[in-house]
Structure 1
Amino acid sequence: MSKTLQEYLNQNLTELKDNGLYNEIDVVEGANGPIINIDGKELINLSSNNYLGLATDEEMKAVAKEAIDSHGVGAGAVRTINGTMDLHRDLEEKLAKFKGTEAVIALTSGFNANQGAIPAIMKKGDAILSDELNHASIIDGCRLSGAKIIRVNHNDPEDLRKKAKEATESGEYNKVMYITDGVFSMDGDVVNLPEMIKVAKEFDLITYVDDAHGSGVMGKGAGTVKHFGLEKEVDLQMGTLSKAIGVVGGYVAGSKDLVDYLKVAARPFLFSTALTPADTAAITKAVEKLMASTELHDKLWENGNYLKQGLKDAGFDIGNSETPITPVIIGEEKKAQEFSRRLQEKGVYAKSIVFPTVPRGTGRVRNMPTAAHTKEMLDQAIEIYTEVGKELGII
């Protein structure tokens, strides 16, 4: 290894560890369900984004196996050559119906969806009004576009109005986009979409909602945009197929013209081999299940509200979450990591989240209850939380 690289790595790794910002990666032995095994120990899992428990669903496993037998283990090409299979066509048609849009384009990840769609639409000479707490994939997609990025105060329609007015009246930009998460993954709050869309329409902004944590969770499963009844008002809806859907991949939903354009302009779509047949079949089955019943969605919310109330009653700061995502905000980074370690020692896996994922001084443990958790699991988790919180002087 080059001496320069070695010095760079040593310096940065030491600094991260000294400041409590180094992330240890744990290996899950077996499936990622409500109970997981790490280092041979069973733990109540509160860190998975497998919201509906579908990652281990028996019907989805069955259709995935069938798809391997009928279509192989890989798509064999990028979508634009001959990697588009009948399975991909069926998935996109079903997703469009589920989302209430004319069309959908499916990609290999939600991150790729943002990296593909944003730069395909926005270019140098344009401007993007981006919520200050948007996900890293949005930020990276905006940077790739070359457009001017203008930060908007979090979930603030008046600040959006002020900056939209400045951007559109300056004559400096060819077009202007407003982009936001639907559900913000670190705090669990929801975008004030009706007010934001009102401003967007006033200034003819292109509108883009990243609903990675809202898909399957909000709107009886159809997402945050559907929750507010704004499917016809939002230009681009991005969603993930790896969280509530339980598999892997991402998509962008919108008009037929939009999807037709993205299929020739979104670089991750053009240059990545398509979703595997097994994944595609499993995703389609998950969407069918969500369209047929809200049972899993309802159970998720029941469990989320139960855990949230239990942690709040115990005296923890859970912020202003409006969804099952429930942060326990500790503050200091090293203390947040110690809190997470102590929970794990006692039987709860809840990963600490620190800078740069969240602002400095807001270190936290983020809890992700799922539809697969039982009340007994949640009661046990709350009991352990309370014990560790008292030991560390947090409550």
Structure 2
Amino acid sequence: MERFFTLEVLKTIPYYHLCIELVLIYCIYWLYFSRPQRNQRRPELTPAEKQKLIDEWQPDPLVPVVEESRDRIVEHLSGSKIIVDGDECLDFGTFNFLALRKDDAVVGAGMKGIRDYGVGSCGPRGFYGTFDAHIYLEEEIANFLGVDEAILYSYGFSTIASAIPAYAKRGDLLFIDEQSNFAIQQGAKASRSKIHWYRHNDMEHLKELLDAQAECEAKNPRKAKVTRKIIIAEGICQNTGTIAQLKTMIDFKYKYKVRVFLDESNSFGVLGETGKGLTEHLNVDILDVDLISAETERAIPSIGGFCAGSAYVVDHQRLAGLGYCFSASLPPYLARAASTALKIIQNEPTRLCRLRANAKFFHKQLQSAVEHSHVFDLTGDDISPIKHLLLTHPNNNENLKAIQSLIQSAQSQGIALVSGEKLEQDRTCKNTSIRLTVSAAFSEDELSSCVSVLSGLIKKLSVSKSAI
């Protein structure tokens, strides 16, 4: 009965089904038996052969091999001078813009803070790491800038690097200056947003990118409504010393419906009549900038940084800013020192005037020194305290060695400089330059002395025009 039923079922199946099934069975059979047969028996190695293989094996390094470098050791600080590796030098290498690093009032406030709080907070802000010194400093910064709120971070690098991914996520769009500092680059990377790099300070190129994005959004308006777009720039670019064209960015903000984030690490306490930064310098309403961030490690000689803006924007970081939520809070004695430095900025406007005068004087002197050198180009605005001597043709390894030799020679002649060396992961790592920073503590004679030393060394630089 079962056999008869099976035959009847087979008769009802279309012939092409049977053909397909037979072909499949044949393919499976062919694949199985046509596989190359592995030789199960492995050749035995003699003890001598095994030892030879072991001796020849070289493990890959855990980290990339880099040339050995030696840190310069600072032994003493005194006004505009430092003692580094035993040489007393004028300090053109650090960001001590307002010469507050060893100010008696700032040092005194820090020492009192140590007596009151100890040397560390030992906890994040949400877990018993919030001290009254943090609250007071946040209020003082917000009042100084004229915004609703400010939020403190315990590490300068993590400030903007935490703020960007707090607001931008996968699918959002970031328009970033190609010469932006490494912290901005890492924050953008952490956000997993799509990044459009516009040419340095080139507002025409930024406009082209925004126009192209507007055309794409016109084709898909539903997606455009949920896509956040942010322009990110530095007030004073750390890698070039140039000032951002903030007014044009604000125009783009309202025309293309984008947000504007401004990193004022190098312009806070530097630009503007009272040191409020680029917004004051260009007479731009600070409320037109969606987020202001700055490190308190430059004009303010402390550690950490802050973000400032509307209460709606800033409060979001208290739950979404990774550097705020998961790092131990700023040691309260450093918050005390920063608070005192901020009061000095407000009460001693002459420091700002001296810094601006020194920056302009030094810029003019440097222009004359490199005008016909054919080796360096001077970058940076005249009012900026950051200057770069950028190699005109940095494609020769000998040039890098020549720069290091120049810096070492300058140190032996009493001038402390730094090269613009960066990590390989930094988009700007190919920029080869000598960075000089100006302080309010310098006299014109000291600035001229630096230019004189540089002029002599540049002339002696052992890099021919043909080689570069």
What's the TM-score once normalised by structure 1's chain length?
0.91
Secondary structure of residue in 1 paired with 2:453: helix
Structure 1 match to 2:447: 378
1:330 aligns with 2:391: yes
On the 8 A contact 2:180/2:239 being kept in 1, the answer is no
Among candidates 230, 237, 252, match of residue 199 of structure 1:
252
Cα 1:285/1:28, change in 2 over 3 Å: same
> What do residues 56-112 of structure 1 show as CA deviations (whole Å, max 9, x unaligned)?
111011111111112222223210122111110100000011122111001012211
> What do residues 281-313 of structure 1 show as CA deviations (whole Å, max 9, x unaligned)?
000011111122311111111112222222222
> What do residues 339-379 of structure 1 show as CA deviations (whole Å, max 9, x unaligned)?
21221122211112246568577522111010112223222
Secondary structure of residue in 1 paired with 2:267: coil
1:27 aligns with 2:73: yes
Among candidates 84, 93, 97, match of residue 51 of structure 1:
97
1:237 aligns with 2:283: no
Among candidates 132, 135, 141, match of residue 86 of structure 1:
132
Cα 1:66/1:388, change in 2 over 3 Å: same
Cα 1:358/1:368, change in 2 over 3 Å: farther
The percent of aligned pairs where both chains have the same amino acid is 25
1:144 aligns with 2:187: no
Give the Cα separation in 2 of the matches to 1:197 and 1:238.
17
Give the Cα separation in 2 of the matches to 1:160 and 1:200.
12
Which is further off, 117-126 or 26-35? 26-35
Letter in 2 for 1:328: L
Structure 1 match to 2:174: 128
Q: Mark the structure with the bigger radius of gyration.
A: 2
Secondary structure of residue in 1 paired with 2:391: strand
Deviation (angstroms), 1:23: 5.3
Structure 2 match to 1:209: 262
Q: Number of matched residues?
A: 385
On the 8 A contact 1:99/1:226 being kept in 2, the answer is no
Give the Cα separation in 1 of the matches to 2:187 and 2:252.
23
Correspondences of 1:13-24 after superposition (within 5 Å): 13=66, 17=67, 24=70
1:112 aligns with 2:158: yes
1:319 aligns with 2:374: no
Among candidates 458, 461, 464, match of residue 389 of structure 1:
458
Among candidates 250, 257, 264, match of residue 312 of structure 2:
257
Give the Cα separation in 2 of the matches to 1:337 and 1:348.
13
Secondary structure of residue in 2 paired with 1:185: coil
Structure 2 match to 1:175: 228
Secondary structure of residue in 2 paired with 1:129: strand
Among candidates 280, 283, 296, match of residue 226 of structure 1:
280
Among candidates 264, 282, 295, match of residue 350 of structure 2:
295
Secondary structure of residue in 1 paired with 2:289: coil
Which is further off, 109-118 or 313-322? 313-322
Cα 1:68/1:125, change in 2 over 3 Å: same
Deviation (angstroms), 1:244: 0.7
Among candidates 59, 70, 81, match of residue 116 of structure 2:
70
Give the Cα separation in 1 of the matches to 2:152 and 2:63.
38
Cα 1:145/1:3, change in 2 over 3 Å: farther
On the 8 A contact 2:297/2:304 being kept in 1, the answer is yes
Give the Cα separation in 2 of the matches to 1:151 and 1:260.
29
1:368 aligns with 2:437: yes
Runs of 4 or more, structure 1, over 6 Å off, are: none
On the 8 A contact 1:74/1:276 being kept in 2, the answer is yes
> What do residues 131-188 of structure 1 show as CA deviations (whole Å, max 9, x unaligned)?
1111110010001011111111222222222222333443455211111111111221
> What do residues 320-353 of structure 1 show as CA deviations (whole Å, max 9, x unaligned)?
4341212223343232222212211222111122
Secondary structure of residue in 2 paired with 1:30: strand
Secondary structure of residue in 2 paired with 1:123: coil
On the 8 A contact 1:333/1:354 being kept in 2, the answer is no
Cα 1:263/1:345, change in 2 over 3 Å: same
Higher relative contact order (CA 8 A, sep 6+): 1
Structure 2 match to 1:153: 199
Deviation (angstroms), 1:255: 0.4
Aligned-pair Cα RMSD in Å? 2.2
Structure 2 match to 1:286: 341
